[in-house]
Amino acid sequence: MLPRFLRYPRRPFRRALKVKQSMGQKSRKIEQCAVVGAGIMGGGIAYASVLAGVPIRMKDIERGQLERGAQEVERVLARQIKAGRLTEEAAQQVRSRLTAQLDYAGFDQVDLVIEAVVENLAVKHRVLAEIEGLVGPEAIIATNTSSLRIDDLASPLERPERFVGLHFFNPVPMMPLVEVIRGSRTSEATVATAVDYASTLGKTPIVVKDCPGFLVNRLLTAYLLGFAELIYDGADYIKVDEAMERFGWPMGPAYLVDVIGLDTMSHIIEIICAGYPERMVNKTLEPTKVLAAKGRLGQKSRLGFYRYETDSSGKRKKLPQPDTYQLLAASQPNGTREFSETEIVERMMLPMVLEAAVALEEGIVESTTALDTAMSLGLGFPKHAGGPLKYADSLGLDKVVELSDKYAKLGPLYRPSDKLRRMAAEKSRFYAS
Ligand code: NAD
């Protein structure tokens, strides 16, 4: 669950921000779709779809989940009506577009199925094969996985060219970004259709090449490893949060990890690190693990780095939790020490900037603008800095390399690519000035 700030912006992000995506192919109009899995994400996707006028079948194996998914749609509708954004009549129309079901009835009629079941490769393989056996030959199958590779998921499919990643962010009704992930066998027409569907939902689609973590979670992982290194070296997590919030992030890294869930984040980081062993070494993840091992999972267990209490008006409050320091001491072999705010910001931002440069070099996204937009919309990258690449330009690439050299002793996370070094030597930039 994301912070209130990201969950309930004053106005939902209705209009997709335009990022040029070179779609060489004609897309296919999605008139009917389905989502398999009625959990947090499936329910949100169903809501976004029916609100945008695209009827959807929502399938789950548990009646309770279907009911919860439908209740979630009701809850958001009620909020929209109360805020005067939707009439009761319009809400009724929206409701009529949703069919909650325990079977696969009607799947032979849909143009798109989005798989949103639990994050488990074997379960997803089984569900995807089931779906492929039911839908028409032209239908597209998408997955909302957050950490599994599209190519791995596609392996049992007979028509991998019709398979694509549609990575929505939580909570779906409010989050404007969708990463559209192109597997190595995904056809251009499938990508174009997925992009159009995300736009129909009022989202900003960014096409990303299949890689561990895709774009946003990959760069987030580099940033959180920077945080883990700081804690390992003795930094005070509250001071790190304060420094990063003053820098412009909606929340500091400890608070962010609390919101995402310490167990979830550890799992995602572990998978992503395994994909980049040459740069992302998971040695200092202990702080998150230490807390998670004590059952402190973040906001969902009311205790993580911080303690969470709900006041009499129902507002959630974040409070310091003194014993966090004692627990973290186990992962600070050299004790604690003071860090200047400048050092905190440099050590936190550099890994993300350097990983952004590598992702761009690898062609994970099409353009600097696409990368920076994804990081702003998906993660709330500080507005004044514009995105990791724009921020690098504003520092000057020579300064980025100079800082990397300053922190070289911290390991490969702080090592710039050869290309970035060349760009710095040539006084080059990511954006034309
Ligand atoms: P969840 O646990 O809330 O929901 C999963 C749902 O799938 C449950 O309702 C479960 O009953 C259902 N399910 C399990 N097996 C099924 C089957 N064989 N057929 C039909 N339904 C089945 O999970 P979630 O958080 O909604 O995550 C779903 C997917 O979205 C995962 O791949 C996750 O990685 C991804 N995702 C999650 C988030 C997030 O913040 N929660 C963000 C982005 C992507």
Average pLDDT, the chain: 91
Looking at the CA of residue 40, tell me the nearest atom of ligand 1: 26
Q: Quick check: 85 and 93 in contact, CB under 8 A?
A: no
Question: Does 8 score more than 50 pLDDT?
Answer: no
Distance 208 CA to ligand 1 centre (A): 21
Identify the helix (H) or strand (E) that includes residue 163: strand 163-168
Closest residue CA from atom 31 of ligand 1: 119
Return the pLDDT at 62: 96
Q: pTM for this structure?
A: 0.91
Contacts of 332 by beta carbon, 8 Å cutoff, 6+ apart: 231, 232, 233, 234
Distance 137 CA to ligand 1 centre (A): 25
Return the pLDDT at 285: 60
CB atoms within 10 A of CB 244: 25
Distance 152 CA to ligand 1 centre (A): 18
* Structure confidence by residue, pLDDT tens digits, 63-91: 999 998 888 788 888 988 999 998 999 99
- Could you tell me the sign of the dihedral formed by the alpha carbons of 212, 69, 104, 118, in that order? positive
Mutation test of ligand 1: which of 45, 47, 104, 118 has the most ligand atoms closer than 8 Å to its C-beta? Answer: 118
Return the pLDDT at 173: 87
Q: Cα angle vertex 2, ends 165, 49, to 5°?
A: 45
Question: Does 22 score more than 70 pLDDT?
Answer: no
* Structure confidence by residue, pLDDT tens digits, 177-226: 999 999 999 999 999 999 999 999 999 999 999 999 999 999 999 999 99
Return the pLDDT at 14: 37
Respond yes or no: is residue 125 known to be catalytic. no
**Helix and strand element counts for the chain (H, E):** 18, 10
Return the pLDDT at 171: 87
Mutation test of ligand 1: which of 146, 181, 266 has the most ligand atoms closer than 8 Å to its C-beta? Answer: 146
Confidence of residue 12 (pLDDT cuts 50, 70, 90): very low
Query: How far apart (Å, rounded) are the C-alpha atoms in residues 378 and 382?
Result: 12
Chain position carrying tokens 């987030």: 220
CB atoms within 10 A of CB 92: 11
Return the pLDDT at 431: 97
Looking at the CA of residue 124, tell me the nearest atom of ligand 1: 18
Question: Does 47 score more than 50 pLDDT?
Answer: yes
Question: Does 318 score more than 90 pLDDT?
Answer: yes
Looking at the CA of residue 69, tell me the nearest atom of ligand 1: 9
- List, chain by chain if needed, residues with CB within 6 Å of any ligand 1 atom: 36-42, 59-62, 65, 116-119, 123, 127, 144-146, 170
**What's CA 308's distance to the chain center, in Å?**
23
Side-chain-facing half-sphere of 113: CA atoms under 13 Å? 29
CB atoms within 10 A of CB 26: 10
Return the pLDDT at 196: 96
Residue 8: strand, helix, or coil? coil
Distance 97 CA to ligand 1 centre (A): 21
Return the pLDDT at 182: 97
What is the rounded average pLDDT of the residues 260-288? 86
Q: Quick check: 199 and 16 in contact, CB under 8 A?
A: yes
Confidence of residue 9 (pLDDT cuts 50, 70, 90): very low
What is the rounded average pLDDT of the residues 252-279? 92
What is the rounded average pLDDT of the residues 27-33? 92
Name the least confident of 34-43, 135-144, 354-363.
Answer: 34-43
What is the rounded average pLDDT of the residues 250-268? 91
Question: Does 2 score more than 70 pLDDT?
Answer: no
204-214-264-324 Cα dihedral, nearest 10 degrees? -90
48: nearest Cα among 137, 136, 144: 144
* Structure confidence by residue, pLDDT tens digits, 319-372: 999 999 999 998 899 999 999 999 999 999 999 999 999 999 999 999 999 999
**Own/partner long-range contacts of 260-264 (Cβ < 8 Å, ≥24 apart):** 260/298, 261/297, 261/298, 261/299, 261/300, 262/288, 262/291, 262/292, 262/296, 262/297, 262/298, 262/304, 263/292, 263/297
